[in-house]
Chains A and B, each alone.
Chain A
């Protein structure tokens, strides 16, 4: 039986479990499926002490109700149902909602139809120029190049990688650079400047850059210009240094002379889905880190996510001082520091639901194994909603 792996946002739908063997999944996906029972959160706890589920949910509801400036965090690996109820809860209590995604701007541009996009299947069938901008796909999404972009043979690209150009733009020599035929290494935070230089070269001017030679930029812009079907995959590094407006301007300029699409390399299996949910409900994502640094947050509900490993130490310290409720399947630093921790079934393995791939295609995931005792995230959210 073929199943969908939700180890990352590639959502490979050809993974199979034959006996004890997990076939076709990458190392990340195979370990995600094989080790789902290790390091699990055993039972609901309040301040580290075991309690009954109803009591834990009741205490969680009280913490959220009492808070003046609550926040709802995470949800990158939650199913769409849980994400919808979390955003609904956020609306109700007027909370800061954040998923720590580094693709929020690109996703929003795509959903508002300001940035041209396409699906990964279209990339496989048509793309001849593939750009990985600030993304190390070989490590973050191991099967991305072999399943969707550079290597597979598609309808109009029968020779696979021999007919395609893969260009990597990054701040370091990553693993993806080893595979791509061409690469450009730029200093950190200079993506916006490189975009401006490429736009100048597209206009026929000689670009002046502090880090790349004019000839190199002109060659790159010519390659982009000649593309029949180009795709830019934007990684986590791009969002920090180039503003969304710059990206939109760059894409418009590029599309005036060529045919380019943009797909965000969403980190977790349903990061793109969360952007879609926020867009559907017209709720604004606000920066949790900024609000926390200013001391504006007094309670947080964290869903299947560990903000401690994502934030600097100073912010983690501030987070440990406020009251937190965590719903997660695994033990993390966040569950150790939280006031209330509630275990849930592992999304995509013990619990099914709908997820959205990085290119906006919706997939229905069925559970692989039966859950042993734990409750699904959406059910816990429903219990919380009823109490609030």
Chain B
């Protein structure tokens, strides 16, 4: 999973502020969250630009709801449901303690033996400021959850 440091190493690191951001690091963060464009940096060389583009490209498709659940792989273990930070914040005494819950604000829920995305618009990846959270992907034993 890409992080701002990977992009930062290709940037000029001069903090010239010409892109509109205070530092090159801040620019790297904005690039990942799709809030800035590579062209805003005037000092980038072509090869470095291409490197950054390959890092940022997977996130272009994740504009709204890029979550993919492979139904045939999912065992309904609920690891993603219990680990999701938004689920925990919305239902600290239910889902956070491992129990099933009827809370309507849950992003992921287990229904009929498999995980279903419910309130995906509130996922940390889609609400500003965007956070590249991938807890559900990392803790899935079957690799049934994917963000393109």
Nearest chain B CB to A360 CB, angstrom units? 19
Q: Does A182 contact B (CB under 8 A)?
A: no
Q: How far is the CA of A14 from the CA of B111 in the complex (A)?
A: 13
Query: Are the C-beta atoms of B79 and A151 separated by less than 8 Å?
Result: yes
Q: What residue in chain B is nearest A33 (Cβ atoms)?
A: B113
Partner of A29, one of B74, B98, B113: B113
- Taking CB atoms and an 8 Å cut-off, the chain B residues in 69-113 that contact chain A are 74-79, 81-83, 88, 92, 96-102, 109-113
Q: Does B20 contact A (CB under 8 A)?
A: no
Q: How far is the CA of A222 from the CA of B78 in the complex (A)?
A: 31
Given contacts A148-B98, A160-B96, A178-B141, contact A27 B76 (CB under 8 A): yes
Partner of B82, one of A15, A29, A142, A160: A160
Query: Are the C-beta atoms of B79 and A25 separated by less than 8 Å?
Result: no
Query: Are the C-beta atoms of B98 and A30 separated by less than 8 Å?
Result: no
Query: Are the C-beta atoms of A27 and B99 separated by less than 8 Å?
Result: no
Query: Are the C-beta atoms of A147 and B99 separated by less than 8 Å?
Result: yes
Given contacts A14-B99, A15-B100, A175-B141, contact A138 B83 (CB under 8 A): no
- Segment with Cβ contacts to B, from A16-24, A79-87, A107-115, A208-216: A16-24
Interface residues of A (CB under 8 A from B): 12, 14-16, 21-31, 34, 124, 138-139, 142-143, 145-148, 151-154, 160-161, 175-176, 178-179
Q: B82 contacts which chain A residues (CB < 8 A)?
A: 146-147, 151-152, 160
Q: Does B114 contact A (CB under 8 A)?
A: yes
Query: Are the C-beta atoms of B77 and A154 separated by less than 8 Å?
Result: no
A30-B113, A154-B97 given; 15 more Cβ-contact pairs under 8 Å: A23-B111, A24-B100, A25-B113, A27-B76, A27-B113, A27-B114, A142-B75, A143-B77, A145-B79, A146-B77, A146-B98, A160-B96, A161-B83, A178-B140, A179-B141
Most central of B92, B98, B102, B114 by chain A CB within 10 Å: B98
Query: Are the C-beta atoms of A147 and B98 separated by less than 8 Å?
Result: yes
Query: Are the C-beta atoms of B78 and A146 separated by less than 8 Å?
Result: yes
Partner of A139, one of B75, B81, B92, B113: B75
Given contacts A153-B97, A160-B82, contact A30 B112 (CB under 8 A): yes
Q: B88 contacts which chain A residues (CB < 8 A)?
A: 153, 160
Interface residues of B (CB under 8 A from A): 74-79, 81-83, 88, 92, 96-102, 109-114, 139-143
Q: B75 contacts which chain A residues (CB < 8 A)?
A: 26-28, 138-139, 142
Query: Are the C-beta atoms of A142 and B97 separated by less than 8 Å?
Result: no
Q: List 16 A-B contacts (CB under 8 A).
A: A16-B100, A22-B111, A23-B100, A23-B109, A26-B113, A31-B113, A124-B98, A139-B75, A139-B141, A145-B77, A146-B83, A148-B98, A153-B88, A176-B141, A178-B140, A178-B142
Query: Are the C-beta atoms of B78 and A26 separated by less than 8 Å?
Result: yes
Q: What residue in chain A is nearest B113 (Cβ atoms)?
A: A30
Q: What residue in chain A is nearest B110 (Cβ atoms)?
A: A24
Q: A29 contacts which chain B residues (CB < 8 A)?
A: 76, 113
Q: How far is the CA of A16 from the CA of B114 in the complex (A)?
A: 14
Q: A142 contacts which chain B residues (CB < 8 A)?
A: 75-78
Q: A34 contacts which chain B residues (CB < 8 A)?
A: 112
Q: B79 contacts which chain A residues (CB < 8 A)?
A: 145-146, 151, 179
Q: B92 contacts which chain A residues (CB < 8 A)?
A: 153
Partner of A151, one of B101, B139, B142: B139
Q: What residue in chain A is nearest B139 (Cβ atoms)?
A: A179
Q: How far is the CA of A30 from the CA of B76 in the complex (A)?
A: 9
Given contacts A146-B77, A146-B78, A153-B88, contact A25 B110 (CB under 8 A): yes
Q: How far is the CA of A179 from the CA of B109 in the complex (A)?
A: 19
Q: B98 contacts which chain A residues (CB < 8 A)?
A: 124, 143, 146-148, 151-152
Q: Can you list the 7 inter-chain pairs with the closest CB atoms, starting with the nearest?
A: A24-B100, A30-B113, A152-B98, A27-B113, A175-B141, A138-B141, A147-B98
Q: A176 contacts which chain B residues (CB < 8 A)?
A: 141
Query: Are the C-beta atoms of A14 and B83 separated by less than 8 Å?
Result: no
Query: Are the C-beta atoms of B143 and A178 separated by less than 8 Å?
Result: yes
